[in-house]
Amino acid sequence: MAEDVKVTIYSTPTCPWCEKTKEFLNEKGVKFDVIDLTENPEKAQEMVNKSGQMGVPVTIIKKGGKETVIVGFDKEKISKTLSL
């Protein structure tokens, strides 16, 4: 995967779809940052601003100067965006 790719997941510890998203990325060897909204409640507004959603997970993929926002566990969209 290209070095100009950054993946961030807005997550909570009790969210099963967040865990599925992280497991999927780990299986594919994709590095990612996790923002735990229980530890960083101020980041929740940032997530809502980017996604228009209150629910997690929200995955932000920055690639080639473009930012893609993926709401929920959307394996197909993650794979397509990351060219997996």
pTM of the model: 0.92
How many Cβ atoms sit within 10 Å of the Cβ of residue 17? 14
Tens digit of each residue's pLDDT (9 = 90 or more) over 7-35? 999 999 999 999 999 999 999 999 999 99
The residue ranking higher by pLDDT, 64 or 79, is: 79
Q: Which of 5, 10, 50 lies closest to 34 in space, CA to CA?
A: 10
So what CATH class is 5-82?
A: alpha beta
DSSP string, 25-84: HHHTT---EEEETTT-THHHHHHHHHHS-SSS-EEEEEETTEEEEEES--HHHHHHHHT-
